[in-house]
Structure 1
Amino acid sequence: MIKRIFLLPFIAVGLSVEAQSLGNSPYAAFGIGEVKYDNSVETNSMGGINTAYIWDFNNSFNFKNPAANTNLELTSFRVQMTNENQSLKSDFNGLSANKHSNYLSNISIAFPISKKLKFGLGYQPYSSKRYDIITSKILADSTVKANRFYGEGTLSTIQAAFGYQVNKEFAVGLRSNFYFGKLSDVEELAYSNAELINGFETSNKIKTFNFTLGSTYQKKFKNDKKLTLGATYTFGTTGNVKTQFLNSTYYYYLDQKLNVTEIEKKTSEDKNLIPTEASLGIGYGHDAKWFASAQIDYKKGSTTMFLGQPFSYQDSYRISAGGWYLPNYNDFRSYLNRVVYRYGAFYEKGNLNVNGTNINQYGITAGVTLPFEKSNAVRMSGIDLGLEFGRRGTLENNLIQQNFFNVKVGINFADKWFQKRVYE
């Protein structure tokens, strides 16, 4: 059955699917869906650099590398939203479409436990899928053959992270991720001269977790310049993924399945859902003035069940570069001088291969952090705005090319809420 999923018409007809629950990519139909993690506005606005990113001020927590939180001194509460806009096209019958979606992409709280130990707790959607596709074909005997492919579900994560400053230059961190959710995919086969529909359904019930180890080294020089090195390693998931495959026949009456007859039903359990990852980063900057960084991420391929058959992701990597610039955070005569300006770019060799073609993506990013009018270097609350322009996929082999324009908005409230409790 899995071979039918990769038919070229199926990919092209994906242009007509409904908007994804957390995104619009037609490639979300495969595997665990379209991965959304990490959704931080500030790091996303810098091309995704985060491994060697230690924010110079005291109001932000880096979940991606939990070791990179040396300067956190305030309680930081963040809420972030994402607006995604996709322009999709294919050379298959000249099809094109536009898709839009909005969703809560991040909510977190972080605070210092002591001068050396920092803690953060957050929620993010990890991946999502929602699609409904119908194809039809007239056979030689005038019988109409119809295939329907549909699926839905969301995989979310709750993350808890600790960062510890070992000495003036070196820090380590640990993050745990708990993943939970349900994902389902169904293929239905029907003929105009048959009463029953043949359905093939794969359901994944996920409760699993993994861990990330992080480290940073930051060397400060006498001229206020600094060099930062960072590394992270994420272990594969170790929890429980229950997969059920059902092959059955039935018919519909008022959207209800009736006369269901099971042909084959089997279940399996697996732990290899979220793959092993590693990241290296390097950054250089001027204290409280500017910072630039480059980073490479590697993600090991993995296998999951999709319509009763193993579906394999290939090894992938991502190269990103970006940074920020702050004219003068103490200039209260000019608001624009206290705005943080962010920039970045990335290229990703994707983990999805369709019809022998890699589904890669690249893009440029920009953003600003707008401090509240009464914010200062001690209590820097504000609004984060981020823009992302890019392209994923290709027109080759009648596949889909998607141009995307995403807008991210976040609010960061930073203050000394837990100061007495923290330093007692």
Structure 2
Amino acid sequence: MIRRGLSPEARASLLGRFCTGGGAPAPSGSPARDFATLPNARELAEARRLGQRHNLSNPFFQPHDGVAGARTRIAGREMLNFASYNYLGLNGDPRVNLAAAEALALHGSSASASRMVSGERPVHAQLEAALARNYGAEEALVLVSGHATNVSVIGHLLGPDDLVVHDQLIHNSCAEGMRLSGARRVAFPHNDPEAAERALAGARARHKRALLLIEGHYSMDGTVPDLARFRDMARRHDAWLMVDEAHGLGCLGPTGRGVWEAQGVSPDAADIWMGTLSKTLASCGGFIAGSRALVDWLRHTLPGFVYSVGLPPPMAAAAECALRLMEEEPWRVERLQRNTRRFRAALQARGFDTGGSTGGSIVPVILGSSLRAVRLAEKMAAQGINVQPIAFPVVPEGQARLRFFLSSEHEESELDEAAEALGRAAREVAA
């Protein structure tokens, strides 16, 4: 089951699953042009009504009044924040802002067109060279969206004669790319190399090409794969290994270079490194790092690159500056990991189930009931702490949770405050 990310349907189910009965009758005789007849539209409307009836506030689309870091202002209210990917506190850093402002003054706010046609700017090449160095790769390519990067690359790389063997918790963007490709999909249980090998061995011979697809740091659970085992497996079965490092860069390894650094594995373990610019790198977009042959082929044929506008120059400059600061200031990575370990230990000491979190940057608190997860998020918000509930169908019922994203900017006293607040909230909300 692919369960990462909150689609509109998932948000509807999160609220609507909590209670039964009521709701509007199914539309009858609706014309084909009626948007209310679209898939899940009725469920979304019903969930909204049920949430209002049971006094459940909508935990999504919160209006932040400024930079969302370790602290934020939501609708004018100062809050301790655990719902941001600003892992190293570089979003809003004056040096990152200045880099973006200088690129804005020089190049304007947009690349205006596809880089192939008329949108190339030197700052793109500078960012791509820095990303390639981080992964020990020959080349890198940046695109305007992390989600679109996976959709376009996987959808373009594979076809109906090919095979994808993937972790069952892989991101929605990867799932959409696989669907677009038409390749055969085989999921294996989360972080289970033995099952992955059985799946790959059993199906590989019947397909032209094969892709083994995993993440470096899973955002729902804070878990990591055994990279060396997946590397060896891919090579035994003549498959490409692709690693989505959206939440690994900046969070794993002594200097934040990712899962390969954390596990002491050569970065050539993966044939394709994918990542985002919107988390640690304080920008927007996605990237691919790999061999020169791969990146050159993508640069000239990838629909999501060739037919899409180039990354805005200010965003490229911000990401390049943030990556350089990550390299120059490794204390940020050290402090992030120390904060995460401290917070995880504080929650465990209070009896909370933190799942398989490795202490990189993500700590789930598994609560079981979807209703309880939302109620606890409300209680936390009332105490000035912003944390998101994750419930069915994003996770199976019984695995609902609060998901805490840590930052190097959190103070130890704030972590202790949040752990104590969650303990109080849990005592007030029945299991």
TM > 0.5 between the two? no
TM-score between both structures, scaled by the size of structure 2: 0.25
TM-score between both structures, scaled by the size of structure 1: 0.25
Determine which structure has the larger strand proportion and give its number. Answer: 1
Which of 1 and 2 has greater Rg? 1
Determine which structure has the larger helix proportion and give its number. Answer: 2
